[in-house]
């Protein structure tokens, strides 16, 4: 039975204190009160830039942080089903949407915290009784096969409610055909390098499409074009707007899609602008948009697979290398056909237009397991930094260097930008160095056990036998 009876006040503090003591019974007793306290409360908020109120933002984000913290610590106490319920609660709370502009969701943070902690729980229980490596690997894969489908159900619900890219509005061929027609008809003199430069693009988007188009019509009325300037400014669009042949509302909608797409993918636009001859003509911009919507479809699938990536990241960082390899191979097999279909569509697109955009091709052609291979590289960083700081474990830095050499041929886009894998590796090294510095300070500059630097790490792992965990994962 719980060692303390929760009162109606301070229940969150009581719950977190019980968690730090490893008192799972008290935490389990208080959780229903916390869920009841959160029921019906908003967790979405409108940002300040869109007219949101600071007090509402603070309250909503505090609730999200509480849910994130609970999702992180409950698996350590063996409360698996309760963790999954927290994830569902976090998603259900988003049904209450604030009035006004587009709201911000931070459900991703809660979901990632829960997935990471639950996979760590699986690894902990799989090896707790000294099971052989092969047996532990089998347990881990079995546990993930039960856990991930349960989490995916909530994740897919979340994914369907989000628009990851403006290009998703053009996923339907009919919608894209209308945009392509607009670009081909009015692109000359409209989609110029000057207009699509970052500063000019931001200025037009902030000012609004209607305002921009109305100024075009005013210019046409004040400077009638006898034909000599039609290649230098969008006289045809201005003429059709003035005559009513092109409705202002329709033109504004299609222009906004094009400009937002370029703003969202400006690195790809730079690639298009610097490596293709078609980029000299604004009426050919639809070719770039066609490539970008294929990239957006790839990114949508990759984002849907994030729970699988999260699980693999934990396996790599916890040293469950055999399980990580098996999990990666399973994902590669299950996504092979989908990846092959996207590559075939890209091949057809490149052949149709005689264009190859490295920034798009490099992304679409790589397997969906590329992020998992990056996890394996980053998992070597803490040990390598530890060797630099304390001299142990010997050989860790060399292992990182050898693994990184396998990524040296992986470029990004036209090769101008720093490769994405190198950016991630740099961030991982910076984090590990910062952690090592903190540990050294608390340890009096002498190497020793890592000092817990988060509330989560201060919560002890409670022993949970594998059979009990398997039952909990089965729901």
Could you tell me if 168 and 261 are in contact, meaning their C-beta atoms sit under 8 angstroms apart? no
pLDDT given at position 228: 46
Cis peptide before 233 (omega within 30 of 0): no
pLDDT given at position 129: 81
Query: Which tokens in the block code for residue 47?
Result: 């940002």
pLDDT given at position 290: 96
pLDDT given at position 454: 73
Residues 298, 48: Cα–Cα separation, whole Å: 32
Q: Which of 269, 299, 300 is nearest to 284 (CA)?
A: 269
pTM of the model: 0.85
Residues 115, 369: Cα–Cα separation, whole Å: 18
Q: Which helix H or strand E contains 49, and what residues bound it?
A: none
> Residues of the chain whose pLDDT is less than 50?
1-6, 8, 226-231, 441-443, 445-451
pLDDT given at position 185: 94
What residue has token string 């490149």? 350
Give how far Cα 225 sits from Cα of 188, 245, 281, 282, Å: 15, 18, 20, 19
Burial of 426: CB neighbours in 10 Å, binned 0-12, 13-18, 19+: exposed
pLDDT given at position 51: 83
Q: Which of 327, 309, 339, 263 is nearest to 424 (CA)?
A: 309
DSSP code string of 327-383: HHHHHHHHHHHHHHHHHHHHHHHHHHHT---HHHHHHHTS-TTHHHHHHHHHTTHHH
């Amino acid at each position: 039975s719980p060692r303390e009876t929760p009162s109606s006040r301070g229940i969150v503090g009581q719950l977190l204190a019980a968690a730090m003591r490893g008192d799972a019974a008290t935490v389990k007793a208080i959780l229903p009160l916390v869920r009841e306290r959160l029921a019906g409360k908003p967790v979405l908020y409108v940002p300040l830039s869109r007219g949101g109120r600071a007090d509402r933002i603070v309250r909503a984000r505090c609730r999200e942080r509480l849910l994130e913290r609970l999702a992180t610590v409950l698996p350590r106490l063996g409360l698996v089903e309760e963790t999954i319920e927290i994830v569902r609660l976090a998603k259900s709370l988003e049904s209450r949407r604030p009035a006004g502009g587009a709201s911000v969701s931070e459900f991703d943070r809660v979901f990632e915290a829960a997935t990471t902690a639950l996979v760590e729980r699986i690894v902990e229980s799989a090896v707790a009784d000294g099971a052989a490596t092969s047996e532990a690997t089998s347990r881990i894969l079995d546990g993930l096969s039960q856990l991930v489908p349960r989490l995916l159900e909530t994740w897919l619900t979340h994914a369907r409610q989000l628009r990851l890219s403006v290009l998703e509005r053009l996923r339907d061929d009919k919608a894209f055909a209308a945009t392509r027609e607009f670009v081909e008809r009015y692109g000359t003199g409209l989609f110029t390098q000057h207009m699509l430069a970052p500063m000019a693009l931001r200025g037009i988007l902030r000012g609004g499409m209607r305002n921009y188009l109305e100024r075009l019509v005013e210019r046409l009325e004040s400077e009638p074009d006898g034909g000599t300037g039609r290649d230098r400014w969008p006289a045809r669009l201005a003429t059709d707007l003035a005559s009513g042949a092109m409705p202002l509302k329709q033109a504004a909608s299609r222009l906004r899609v094009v400009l937002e797409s370029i703003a969202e993918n400006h690195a790809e636009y730079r690639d298009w602008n610097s490596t293709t001859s078609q980029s000299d003509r604004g009426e050919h911009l639809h070719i770039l948009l066609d490539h970008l919507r294929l990239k957006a479809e790839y990114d949508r699938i990759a984002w849907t697979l994030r729970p699988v990536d999260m699980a693999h990241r934990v396996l790599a960082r916890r040293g469950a290398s055999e399980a990580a390899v098996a999990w990666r191979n399973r994902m590669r097999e299950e996504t092979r056909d989908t990846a092959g279909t996207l590559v075939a569509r890209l091949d057809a697109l490149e052949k149709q237009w005689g264009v190859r955009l490295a920034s798009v091709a490099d992304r679409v052609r790589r397997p969906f397991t590329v992020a998992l291979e990056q996890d394996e590289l980053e998992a070597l960083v803490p040990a390598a930094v530890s060797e630099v700081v304390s001299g142990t474990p010997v050989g860790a830095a060399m292992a990182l260097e050898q693994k990184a050499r396998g990524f040296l041929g992986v470029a990004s886009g036209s090769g101008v930008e720093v490769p994405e894998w190198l950016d991630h590796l740099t961030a991982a090294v910076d984090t590990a160095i910062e952690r090592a510095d903190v540990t050294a300070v608390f340890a009096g500059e002498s190497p020793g056990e890592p000092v817990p630097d988060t509330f989560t790490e201060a919560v002890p792992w409670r022993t949970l036998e594998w059979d009990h965990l398997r039952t909990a994962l089965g729901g």
